[in-house]
A and B are shown apart, each in its own frame.
Chain A
Amino acid sequence: METCELGAFLEGQQTRLRQTIADLAKRYDYVSVLGTDSSGVSFRVSPQERRVGDSMWSERGFVFRVQQAGRIVEFALNVLPKGDLAATISAQIDQLLSAGPDARLYPALPDEAAEASRFATVAENPLAADPAKVMDRLALARAALMQQSPEIVFSSANAEFVRVRKIFLSPKRDLAQAYFWGQGYLITVAKRGDETRENYQPFSGYMGLELLDELDSKVEALATETIELLSAEKPLPGEYDVICDPDVTGLIAHEAFGHGVEMDMFVKGRAQAPEYLGKAVASPIVDMYDTAAGIEQCGSYLFDDEGTFASSTKIIDKGILVAGLSDLQSAASLGTKPTGNGRREAFDHKAYARMTNTYIAPGKDSLEDMIASIKHGYLLQKMSSGMEDPKNWGIQLVLTVGREIVDGKLSGRMVSPIVCSGYVPELLSSISMISGTVELGGSGACGKGYKEYAKVSSGGPYIKARMRLG
């Protein structure tokens, strides 16, 4: 096992930054700095080509946040100038405070005393591994995929690992953390005549190179499913009983509902959720959580990008909406306790209220009983995309695999692609059965609208619901 360290760069800046924060605190009502030094590596093996590069999540820089007379501004930079750093930062901050139209004024941002650090461990450090050997492992999986069927015309094996390193300093807080996350995809394309189908199998975790241990076990099922997709038909539009696998359950928890309880949406009046706090939004058998603490997945951390400790938030309790997820600004505006969900794509992006690891809690049903209970419907798998609609609570989920269920059994027929639409509370209220085991997946990234990507995971058990498919 290897412990992730904070690294020489951030360690080397801490003393100067502490002094700078102390100097700035004399001028402004609130001041803090987030420092990041995250590095990552990505691998891709495709036909006749191997590529290695830095991860798109690599970053190194600082963002200073200031509040003065209620107004909040930030200055992000990745070169700390020599000389009087506080003077340089002040000059830019003062320009921001004096420019622009009429500003909203916020209650004082909190700055409670805390000193903490967390440095996670990994079994294999991907940044220290021999890239050629990592590529060999990926190449074997890719070659195995191609051998499954002559109809598979393309495959690639992709993996990415990131070591996140962050410090947060304010007059009363001194925090540090370092950890790894990893993700990957096996991708296939199959062709038969005019029909072309693309499919993928993701894998992810709060871990290092050991993530690749699960690669080989996914090859055969992915190849089989891709070939099945070549015979898939378009679904006949209509409303069906469906069973969502943990991946799709997570997509519902995240896209259909989770974005709607990000409390910066409450501040803007962009969410229906505030009107439903304390009211039923789902079936009484539904509990839903968002937690960056106590779970190890891609959305886990010790503190968020505003220096608030991670927490576990129960969003839905027995079908009742009980809480939302807040960043510092939305919590200050709404007069609530910050939940530790203030996250940035990188140091040079704004912090928003964001999800972390979002899931529906387990129930007591078996998957076999759930399938047996359906006269005609579908087992839905493989998310393709999803988009939030917190104001109107519309649903858009695009899925790749729908396995038909007839008279309580899988018929062997498949539909693809599937666009799920409808109204979120109706969907959540229709959940009638929930299986007993939660699975979380954290590949890909979550956007706020169409930008501001953050690492998250989502998941849950199998759920049975009623959904409109097209």
Chain B
Amino acid sequence: MLQLIESLIKAGGRASEYRIAERTKNGLEWYFVRDRLDSSRAVVTTRYEVTVYVDSINPAADNPASARTRGECSVLIQPGSTEAEIRTILDRALDTAAGMKNAWFPLPEPAVSQNAVATSRFDSLSLPQAMEAVRSALYKHDGLDGSTINSLEIFLSQQHIHLLTSRGVDVSWKSWNGFCEYIVNAGTRGKDEVELYADLHFADLDEAPLSEAVRIRLQAASDRLAAVPTPELKGLPLLLSGHLAADLYEYWFQNAQAMAVYEKRAAFAVGDDVSAGQGSQKQGSTSPLGDPINLRAIPTLAGSPLGAPYDQTGFALKPVELIRDNKVLAVVASSKYAHYLQLPATGAIPLFEVAGGHDEAATLRAVDHLEVLAFSDFFVDSTTGDFGGEIRLAYLLKGGKRQPVYGGAVTGNLVDNRGLIRLSRELETSAKARGPVSCLLPIVSITPAG
């Protein structure tokens, strides 16, 4: 099918360039209510993503450099499509691309990525065996302190990606994509039962972190039972850990993207100091200053299913330093936006790494603070820097006493906190990033529970 699509594009003679991605997936899904299998599913799919490019010359252009244009159109070709169907889809895509006269840009030349997807212990197991191993790990601590898994969904698939481009890129790789979503309950007769949500992405069979993630959530559900409504709190810093901290770090990664720079949405540009300005001026010199931001884009991360050795255009990815000691050195730039901005191309690198700070997490935790463990839905707006959410479970540390609280909300802005955020020395790996396990934000607004 891949060869058929390519031969039809070539035979048509209208495409200046093209790229084709074949993605196959073979997966199993188990859905549990409590500890019993509610239903199960098998999924076997193949899809072909095709992008065609049509170049032209704009005779009305002011200078020859801007006269060359490139239009592109991406289409999905379903497996099993007839040759006539494929021709029709391609013809329409080519017509569409010919009508899109964007500034010209190059496609990447073939290169070998040094960042292969890591091998996985799932490789040696059948899908049902692998599912059973994951299930067993996730249920290891079920019932801890009376907290139980209410429901759980496990998705595990092996994926194969094959990229072909008109520039000669012809690469393929396999990866495992594991995901589970689980709800935990805690509650006793006479008291309201509570629940907490969590999810995990994984690409390797590493039972210990799977079991530990569920154990932490079960413990948190027990704590939620003992929680009191969030009281009036003023001037208290916010401590975030784990995936919530990673969501926050993503603000810098999202703004260090060439597309955001090109569209003038980015909060900073190459050469800027991400700590300078409003926040540090507001705070003055009376509080400890924050740790410097050091950010790298990375193609793959052990255990993460979200990495890739090549981007969608076939660019061979490698790590790139984006921010060093608060100074923006580079941005993640696909070939297109790198050309538009006259910046070095990095390819669309999917993951990132933030360096640790000066102090250990225990030091950050020693000051009075509010640590939110679970929001209803934590949001971080990469354009405005606003962040926050409704509190489902937090721990209030005040005067050496730790009290679980719930309800109310936290809001803040990363621009207000520029130069003031403290990062833990210890690092943690999540699906999309490796970064400080905890961070402390001094300027937030806390709404008490009603």
Contacts and interface: CB of A to CB of B under 8 A. Distances in A.
Given A50-B100, A470-B411, A196 B267 contact: yes
Contacts of A209: none
Interface string B18-36: 0000000000011101011
B265 A154 contact: yes
B47 A421 contact: no
Contact of A386 (B44, B377, B410, B446): B377
Contact of A54 (B39, B75, B101, B450): B75
A79 interface: yes
Interface in A52-74: 52-54, 58, 60-61, 71-74
A95 interface: yes
B208 to A, nearest CB: 21
A194 B131 contact: no
Contact of A468 (B30, B46, B100, B447): B447
Contacts of A47: 262-264
A75 B450 contact: no
Nearest to B42: A75
B74 A72 contact: no
A5 to B, nearest CB: 15
Interface in B406-450: 407-411, 415, 445-450
B151 A270 contact: yes
Interface stretch (B116-124, B167-175, B292-300, B380-388): B380-388
A112 B183 CA distance: 35
B contact patch SS = strand
Interface in B167-197: 181, 183, 185, 192-195, 197
B73 interface: yes
Given A348-B45, A395-B390, A104 B37 contact: yes
| Size bracket, chain B contacts | 35 or more
A77 B44 contact: yes
Interface string A24-65: 000000000000000000000011111111100010110000
A107 interface: no
A464 B194 CA distance: 30
B46 A79 contact: yes
B59 to A, nearest CB: 17
B285 to A, nearest CB: 20
B375 to A, nearest CB: 7
B446 A237 contact: yes
Interface in A118-172: 130-132, 135, 153-154, 156
A267 interface: yes
B389 interface: yes
B150 A78 contact: no
A394 B392 contact: yes
Interface string B263-285: 11101000000000110000000
A311 B101 CA distance: 47
B254 to A, nearest CB: 12
Given A51-B72, A101-B37, A398-B377, 9 more contacts: A50-B102, A53-B73, A77-B45, A92-B44, A100-B37, A156-B263, A269-B185, A417-B384, A417-B388
Interface of B: 29-31, 33, 35-47, 71-76, 78-80, 95-97, 99-103, 128, 131-132, 135, 150-151, 181, 183, 185, 192-195, 197, 199, 262-265, 267, 277-278, 340, 375-377, 379, 381, 383-386, 388-392, 407-411, 415, 445-450
Report, nearest first, the 7 A-B pairs whose CB atoms are least far apart. A470-B447, A387-B377, A132-B99, A396-B376, A396-B390, A237-B447, A53-B74
15 contacts: A47-B264, A53-B75, A54-B74, A60-B80, A92-B42, A99-B40, A104-B36, A153-B264, A153-B265, A270-B150, A329-B38, A387-B376, A419-B410, A469-B447, A470-B409
